């Protein structure tokens, strides 16, 4: 296995992994994607232990896409361990939605998260339209928005249609 991994994708849903990898590759975002199916496997990969003991800390992933609901070790525990270790606390992380990232100590504020949490994701149909409006106000020249979502999840269909309309009108 190559030492160079651009993205570590941590998700236990084969369908979500497939959709995410497809979206990343279609947009030529990354060729080197490592998938971990649970939190324990992600920690082994990141801390170069177990089946990943031959990896080197000198080649961390450039980005971690982290689901929070994981078997063995949940995503919140993975975040805590990454944040606590000097070797991993600068790896950028985009995590799935957490209902209280400030209260759980992962970010200082939503406006300026700080640390290695670089993004939060959620597809909430009731607020997605407003999120898109705000994004257009903040970045008037915005022509493209990336949205990863599983169209098999009922609530996501509405959100994905909304973003598709935006892309078509841009």
Spans of all domains in the chain = 1-121, 123-170
State the DSSP string of 116-152. TEEEEE---HHHHHHHHHHHHHH-TT---------TT
Which pLDDT belongs to residue 52? 94
pLDDT band at residue 73 under the 50/70/90 scheme: very high
User: What are 104-136's pLDDT values in tens digits?
Assistant: 666 777 666 666 665 555 555 555 666 667 667
Which pLDDT belongs to residue 99? 58
Which pLDDT belongs to residue 49? 95
How confident is the prediction for the chain on average, in pLDDT? Answer: 77
Cα 74 to Cα 10, 62, 66, 79, 133: the distances in Å are 10, 21, 10, 9, 33
E strand or H helix that includes residue 109: none
- Determine the topology of domain 1-121 in CATH: Rossmann fold (3.40.50)
- pLDDT, average across residues 20-27: 80
Residue of 96 and 97 predicted with greater confidence: 96
CA 132 – CA 138 distance, rounded (Å): 10
Residue of 135 and 21 predicted with greater confidence: 21
Which pLDDT belongs to residue 2? 45
Q: Which of 2-16, 23-37, 47-61, 99-113 has the highest mean pLDDT?
A: 47-61
Residue of 2 and 27 predicted with greater confidence: 27
């Amino acid at each position: 296995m190559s030492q160079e991994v651009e993205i570590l994708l941590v998700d236990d849903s084969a369908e979500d992994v497939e959709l995410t990898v497809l979206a990343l590759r279609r947009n030529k975002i990354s060729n080197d994607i490592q998938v971990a199916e649970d939190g324990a496997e992600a920690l082994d990969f990141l801390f170069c232990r177990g089946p990943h003991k031959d990896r080197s800390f000198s080649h961390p992933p450039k980005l971690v896409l982290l689901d929070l609901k994981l078997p063995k070790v949940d995503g919140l525990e993975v975040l805590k361990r990454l944040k606590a270790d000097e070797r991993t606390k600068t790896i950028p992380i985009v995590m799935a939605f957490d209902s209280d990232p400030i209260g759980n100590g992962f970010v200082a504020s939503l406006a300026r998260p700080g640390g290695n949490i670089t993004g939060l994701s959620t597809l909430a149909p009731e607020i997605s339209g407003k999120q898109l409006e705000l994004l257009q106000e903040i970045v008037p020249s915005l022509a493209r928005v990336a949205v990863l979502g599983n169209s098999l999840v009922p609530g996501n269909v509405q959100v994905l249609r909304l973003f598709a309309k935006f892309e078509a009108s841009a």
